Amino acid sequence: MSNRLKPLSHAAWEAQQARIVLSAAKRLDWRRWPLPQQVEYLFSLYGSLPVINAQLGDNSALAQFYRHCIHEQKEQQRTQCASLLRGLATKRTELLWRPELAPALAAVARWLPQRCRELTDWQPRSRNPFRQLESLVRHLFDHYGDIPAWVINSWTAGRLHDGLNIAELTVHLGRGGALRTFRGLPVPLSRKVEHHLRLAPAGYSFLHALRYAQLAARDQLAWLGPVLDSRLSRQLGRDDEFWLRVVDFFAATPMVDPYQLGPVCDWIHQKRAVGIKDEPAQPGFSLKGRSMSSVLTQTAQWHRELAQAPYRVPETTLTLDTTWVPLPVPDFSGGSKCPVRITQLRTYWNLLDEGRTLRHCVASYFDSCRRGRSAIFSLTLNGTRAVTLEVQANRTIVQARGLFNRRPNDEEGVWIRRWATENRLLVPKHLLGE
């Protein structure tokens, strides 16, 4: 009897309300309404996310717009979102049918007061919603028509917080501001680097575009593939100039495999930030006075030590059974004559075994896995390990390495692309040698 009188917890109350709303929503088919009516219905709703998701459908467009445009937003932001969505609902646009574009349209609404043209003057010229979004952003914020293509593309790719605030950068550039004067830049830019940054390919993220510009300013664009295949395409820190000098070190050495850059950068990072064996970290480590031969020898030796010491535990809190929360990327199986498997590695022992088998340093990525920054996958052909893949939290495949850090062959590349396509993973062009 006492349990009946016990008040419900907030979570239990929300679940109860969600069930009530769900039963009512089955009798309300808002998807058949015209867009203006859907928008008005959206802004008439009020409640917690579980209740709204139950009423509208977890993956529906209106549920996502409620989450990004209304839920826990200040009154001014809700007003601006309402103005934008009502304006778009009166036009022949596909934007409001795509739930994945809700964050981008919320960002458009956030900066709507800074527009250089009126929304009423915009008309979509394509049925493709992503091209419509690009057109809308340029219409509202690109006064001079010279915002770099990679900045606009970041809106459609869902990279609005890609090392810097893309929406704020768009408004800054749209008013005629210089890239190097943008206050949100993580590193200073010279005029030469700024020039090349504006010319970076459209599909690049900010970091990839920055690497493109830095190498172009150094006349080292031939090294773009190896650089984007290394940790330089994933991290940007205060010691960025040091890592560019590592690229200079390679570029000045004849007859060296460019794709040794990635393993060498991993070895240098280990030496500077973590330490090797019993040596403490050496933050001041540099390549000054070192030969390429000695650097490659020490890098290879470190890789061999990682492969030959599978039971060595680098810290007291780490055991061979240590696991972590995997990234929400499904495993893959396919093939007939030669079965193919792509499986996420979930324990420290899995990483050690993968690195020992393929003779590379994947075991050094256990911390990134535990922190949720990356996930490591193993591609096997007919039960034999072939390629190790690193997928970052933004669903981008940033590394693909086989035995002794070789690049994937054509057959392996086909399966990697198929897996990526099925799971909507981004595959940079340089990764598979395109």
Q: What is the pLDDT of residue 27?
A: 47
Residue 119 φ then ψ, to 5°:
-65, -35
In a domain, 93, yes or no: yes
In a domain, 69, yes or no: yes
Same domain, 137 and 28: yes
Span 369-389, mean pLDDT?
Answer: 92
In a domain, 243, yes or no: yes
End-to-end Cα, the chain, rounded Å: 69
Where residue 57 falls among pLDDT bands split at 50, 70, 90? Answer: confident
Domain final residue, candidates 85, 116, 141:
141
Same domain, 303 and 342: no
Structure tokens at 284: 């001041």
In a domain, 191, yes or no: no
Same domain, 345 and 296: no
Percent of the chain with pLDDT over 70: 91
Domain final residue, candidates 106, 141, 176:
141
Q: What is the mean pLDDT of the chain?
A: 87
Same domain, 345 and 408: yes
Domain count, the chain: 3
Same domain, 360 and 295: no
Residue 150: other Cβ atoms inside 10 A: 24
In a domain, 167, yes or no: no
Cα(262)–Cα(231) distance, rounded to whole angstroms? 7
4-32: per-residue pLDDT in tens? 555 667 666 666 666 555 555 554 677 78
In a domain, 103, yes or no: yes
In a domain, 187, yes or no: no
Q: What is the 3-state secondary structure (H, E, C) of 251-300?
A: HCCCCCCHHHHHHHHHHHHHHHHHCCCCCCCCCCCCCCCCCHHHHHHHHH
139-181: per-residue pLDDT in tens? 999 999 999 999 999 999 888 988 899 999 999 999 999 999 9
In a domain, 176, yes or no: no
Query: Which of residues 60 and 318 earns the better pLDDT score?
Result: 60
333-368: per-residue pLDDT in tens? 987 777 999 999 999 899 889 988 988 778 777 778
* pLDDT for residue 370 is more than 90: no
Cα(367)–Cα(379) distance, rounded to whole angstroms? 21
- Domain extent at residue 82: 9-141
Domain final residue, candidates 141, 162, 197:
141
Q: What pTM was computed for the model?
A: 0.76
Same domain, 360 and 298: no
Most confident of 19-33, 222-236, 298-312: 222-236
175-228: per-residue pLDDT in tens? 999 999 999 999 999 999 999 999 999 989 999 999 999 999 999 998 998 999
Percent of the chain with pLDDT over 90: 56
